[in-house]
Chain A
Amino acid sequence: MADIFDAYALADAWDEMFVRPGEVRTAYEPVLAALQPIEPSELRFRADQMARAFTDRGVTYAFAGEERPWPLDLVPRILDALEWDLIQRGVAQRVRALEAYLGDAYGHCRAFEDGVVPWRLLLNSPHFHRVAHGVEPPGGVRIHVAGIDLVRDEAGDFRVLEDNVRVPSGVSYVIENRRAMTRIFPSLFAEQHVVPVDGYAQKLLAALRKAAPDGADDPRVVVLTPGPSNAAYFEHALLARLMGVQLVEGHDLVCRGNRVWMRTTRGEVPVHVVYRRLDDDFLDPLHFRPDSVIGCPGIMSAAMAGNVTLANAVGNGIADDKLLYTYVPDLIRYYLGEEPILPNVESFRPDEPGQLDAVLDQIDQLVIKPVDGAGGQGIVIGPKADAETLRRTREAVLADPRGFIAQRPVALSTSPTLAGERMAPRHIDLRPFAVNDGNDVWVLPGGLTRVALQEGNLIVNSSQGGGSKDTWVLAEGPAEPLDEVPSTEGLPEVAPRQLGPDGNPTFVEEGAQQQ
C-alpha cells in the first residue's frame, strides 16, 4: 500500500514530526499511526470536504481578489505540555514587559531617561500619537489582546519573531480550525488529550468588561469593524457572535458630550468598551486621517475624557515596531527584573552607529525587514535575493536606516503538510494569542500555526498564499483510565418517551385493489 509518508525527505531544518527519517517524535506517534494507513485519495476527500465546509460557513479569505476557503492542512501541529508551559510563560512575560513599556512611554519615560531605549525610537515612530500621551486607561491596560509570533529554529528552540499589540488577527481561525478538525478526524481526537480552545471569547469578554471606565455598572462592549469588505471581517463577526455583543461600524456610533453612543431601534444607547479592529489612523477623522470614512469622529476625545475604553489602546504601535523588538529583552530585564524566557532572533539595527556598515557588508546573508511592514510585505531574504534586489535594498537601507532591521535568517521548523497526494515538509511558525485583563495575562492554549505552502518558502502569511494547521497542546498526563464500571447511582429517573402510532396500518392492502 502506498504510504503517504514514503517520499518524506527532511528539509534542512528542525522537523516537528520526525527526529530523522522514520523516527517519529513521541507526541506525534498517535497522529502518524492514524494518518499513515489512510489512502491519498481518502485524504484528498477529507481535505475537499473540509474546504467545502469552510466555504459554506463563510470561513474564507481574500487571495488575489478571490474568495477562497481558509486553507487548513490535515496534519495537526503538536506541542507537548512542557513546550507549551515555556511558550505560555514566555508570551505572558513579553506582554507584561510591553505593557510596562507602553505605560512608561506614554507616562514618565523612565526607560528613555535611564538610557535603556534611545529617545529617537519614540520620537521617530510613526505610531507615536501625542493624543495618547497622558491618557491613563482603566486598570492601566493598553494591550488587551496580543499575538506574539514565534518560530522554532534549527536547534528546536522557540524564538520570538515579532510582537503584535495593535490589532492582532487570526484567533478566529484557531477556533474554526479546531472545529473543523474534530469533525474531519473525530477518532483521532478521541484518542488524544488536547486542551480545548473554546474559552477564548469568554476570556476576552471578561477582560473587556473589566477594562470599562469606572462607573459603568453593566458595561456595554462592542466590536468595531471596518466592514464586510475587510479581510478579517469574518473574525470580527465571529468574535461578536461568540461574545454576544454588537458588531458595529463607524457610522453606527455617534459621539456627543465626550461619550460614545450606539444608534439602535430603541434610540441611542451608551457604549463603554470598544474592541476596535481598526488601525489608529482610521479610528477618528478628527484626530488622525481626516479622510477616513470608516471611523467615528470624536471617539478619541471620549477615550481621552475617560468615558470609553478603546481596546487595544491608541498608540500601541510604538511597542510592536520592529526596531523596538530588538530592545524587548532589555525591557524585560529593566521592567520585570527577569531574564527573557523566549529569546529573540539575532538582530541588527542599521540606525545604530557602526551597525549600518556591518549590515550593508553582509546584506546577502541577512533578512532585511521594513520596521512597519505588515503581512510579510517588503521582506528581503538576502541569501535568496538576486543581485538587483540586493542593490535596491542596500540603497533603501542607506537612505533610511531607521526604516529597517536586519536579522540572521532562521530556517523555520518544518512540519509534514499535504502537498498534492503526499506529505512534504513545509515551514511553519506559531502565533499564540494572549488576553490581558490587568491582573493576569492568559494565553490561549495553542495559537495559530501558519504554514508556507510553497516548497522552501519562509513566509507564511495567508496574504502571501500561506496555509494553517490546527495547533494541539497536549494536556499534562493522560486521563486516569477507569477500571470499574461506574455506578449508575445518582443518574436521575427520567420519564419514558411517549410513542405514537407507526402510521402504517396493516390492513391497507386488503381493501384496495392494485390496478
Chain B
Amino acid sequence: MSDVILSRIAEALTWTGRYVERADATGRILDAYLHRMLEDPWRDEDAACRSLYAILGVDAGAERVDMQQVLDQLAFDSRSTCSIEGALGAARLNARSAREAVSSEMWECLNSTWHALADQRRAARRTGPYAYLELVRARAALFFGLADSTMSRDDSWRFVVLGRSLERVDMTVRLLSVRVLDAAHAPDWTTLLSASGADEAYARVHSGFGDNARVAEFLLLDRDFPRSALHALTTAEECLSALGRPRQDPARRPIGRLRTRLEYLDLTALQDQLPALLGDLQQACMASAEAVAERFFPYQGPVIWAQEGA
C-alpha cells in the first residue's frame, strides 16, 4: 500500500516543501539585503527596497519605501504567502492536512516554528530582525533535515523534495534576474552570493570575488552547490523521473530541456544569453509545476489551485 499516495496529500507535501523553501530563501535574501543596506554608507534605501520587491514579485507601489515597510510586507505579513510568516503559516497548514504522510517530528517542527515566530517578531521590533531571520533559517534547515532523516525515500518524500527544488530554481532565477536586468538598482554580487547562502562555497571554488560572469555561472551552473539552478533542476528531474511513468512527461520535459541546455551551455556567450535564459528558466518551472498539478493532483475538491492574477 505504501506505493499509493492520495493526490491531495501529494499536493500538500509539494507545497509544504515549496513554502518552507520560500521562507528560507526569503529570509536569506532579506538578511543579506538589510545587512548590506546598513553597512553601505552610500545606500539608496528606496532603490534597494524596490529591487527587493522586484525579486520577490511584489508590487512596491508609487510611494517611497523603507526597510520597515519591507519587513512588514516580506517578513511579518501573515496574509501573503510571499512573506516569510505567510509562507510558514501555509506550510504548517499544508503539513497538517498531510499529517499521516509527514513524520511527527516534521509537523512539530513547523508547528513550534509557527508559534515561536510571534515572540521573535516582537523582539525584532526592539532590536532588529536578525534573530527572527536566523530562527527562520535554522528551522527550515531543521525541517528538511528531519524530512531527510525520518521519511522513507518513497513518493511522499519525493513530492517534498520536488516542491523544494522547484521553489529553489525560482528563487535563484529571481535573484539573478534583478541583477542582470536592472544593474542600476541591483545589489552587488557579494550580497547576491550571501543571499543565496553561497558566499563561502563560492569563495572556496573561485578563491576570488566579484567577477560578474563567474558569479552568474556559479549560481546557475555549479554542479555541486545545492542552490544552483542546475543542481536544483537535476534534483527536481530525478524526483519526477522516479515518480513518473510516461516517456514524454509534460512535467519533466520542460525541466529536462532546461537542465540539458544549462549543461551544454557555451560559457563564452553566457552574458549575452542570460536575460533570455533566466526568462526561460522561470517559464519552465511554472510550466512544470502546472503539469505536476494537472497530472498528480487531478481533482476538483475543496483545495483549489489558484494562481495570482488569474
List residues of A whose CB falls within 8 A of some B CB: 42, 46, 49, 178, 182-187, 189-190, 192-196, 198, 202, 205, 209, 221, 241-245, 474-475, 479, 482, 485-486, 488, 490-492, 494-507
Contacts and interface: CB of A to CB of B under 8 A. Distances in A.
5 contacts: A46-B127, A243-B203, A497-B56, A498-B286, A499-B308
Contacts of A178: 39
A479 B50 contact: no
A475 B54 CA distance: 29
Contact of A501 (B22, B205, B305): B305
B209 A202 contact: yes
B307 A504 contact: no
Nearest to A42: B126
B119 interface: no
B96 interface: yes
Given A502-B90, A503-B12, A187 B41 contact: no
A475 B40 CA distance: 10
B177 A182 contact: no
B278 to A, nearest CB: 9
Contact of A244 (B67, B131, B205): B205
A190 B67 contact: yes
Interface residues of B, number: 79
Contacts of A491: 50-51, 54, 178, 182, 185
Contact of A495 (B34, B57, B204): B57
Given A503-B15, A507-B302, A194 B202 contact: no
Contacts of A184: 127-128
A94 to B, nearest CB: 26
Contact of B208 (A187, A205, A501, A502): A205
Given A190-B67, A496-B307, A498-B286, A488 B50 contact: yes
B81 A497 contact: yes
Interface in B252-310: 282-283, 286, 289, 301-309
B207 A221 contact: yes
A364 to B, nearest CB: 47
B37 A501 contact: no
Given A221-B207, A243-B203, A501-B94, A475 B41 contact: yes
Interface string B35-50: 1011111111111001
Contacts of A189: 38-39
Interface of B: 11-12, 14-15, 18-19, 22, 34-35, 37-47, 50-51, 54-57, 60, 62-64, 67, 81-82, 90, 92-98, 126-131, 170, 174, 177-178, 181-182, 184-185, 190, 200, 202-210, 282-283, 286, 289, 301-309
B286 A202 contact: no
A504 B304 CA distance: 11
Given A182-B35, A182-B39, 15 more contacts: A178-B39, A183-B130, A186-B127, A189-B38, A196-B40, A198-B39, A243-B203, A486-B46, A491-B54, A492-B54, A492-B177, A495-B283, A497-B82, A497-B170, A507-B302
A416 B237 CA distance: 59
Q: Report which residue of A49, A474, A495 has the largest number of chain B beta carbons within 10 angstroms of its beta carbon.
A: A495
A244 B129 CA distance: 28
Contacts of A496: 57, 307-309
Contact of B11 (A183, A202, A501): A501
Contact of B41 (A49, A479, A505): A479
Contact of A485 (B62, B127, B204, B209): B62
A244 B207 contact: yes
B96 A503 contact: yes
Contacts of B202: 244
A195 B128 contact: no
A488 B90 contact: no
A490 B203 contact: no
B42 A475 contact: yes
B169 to A, nearest CB: 12
The 4 nearest A-B residue pairs measured at CB? A244-B203, A500-B15, A193-B41, A492-B181
Nearest to B308: A496
A479 B42 CA distance: 6
Given A244-B207, A492-B178, A497-B82, A190 B37 contact: yes
Contacts of B60: 488
A500 B12 CA distance: 8
Contacts of B96: 503-504
B200 A241 contact: yes
A500 B307 contact: no
Q: Report which residue of A221, A503, A507 has the largest number of chain B beta carbons within 10 angstroms of its beta carbon.
A: A503
Contacts of B43: 479
A221 B95 CA distance: 48
A178 B204 CA distance: 23
Contacts of B18: 498, 500
Contact of A494 (B15, B178, B210, B289): B178
A195 B178 contact: no
A498 B293 CA distance: 12
Contacts of A244: 200, 202-208
A482 B65 CA distance: 12
A437 to B, nearest CB: 14
